[in-house]
Amino acid sequence: MVNKAARHFPAFAEALAEQGAHVRPTNEGYFILLPNGKPTLLHRSPSDVRWKKNLRRDIERAGLTFPEIGNKF
């Protein structure tokens, strides 16, 4: 099942890139290398129900602002 928020991923990834993260599209979503050196994934079909909470935590720990893109993201 594809993540309903996946349609917002390109804008989300672009917003992170503007803040200094290195973003690379993959077949499954996006590979994100945060400025603190931590790699993270933005996957189109995440298996973890806490994916958004974990992603937000990683982004904010790296000193970036979590982009608020779309109503459901």
Give mean pLDDT in consecutive 10-residue pieces for the chain, a chain of 73 residues: 74 93 93 95 85 93 88 59
How far, in Å, are 3, 27, 40, 45, 66 from residue 35 at the CA level? 26, 23, 11, 25, 14
What pLDDT was estimated at residue 73?
Answer: 59
The reported pLDDT for the residue numbered 71 is 60
Report the distance separating Cα 73 and Cα 60, nearest Å: 16
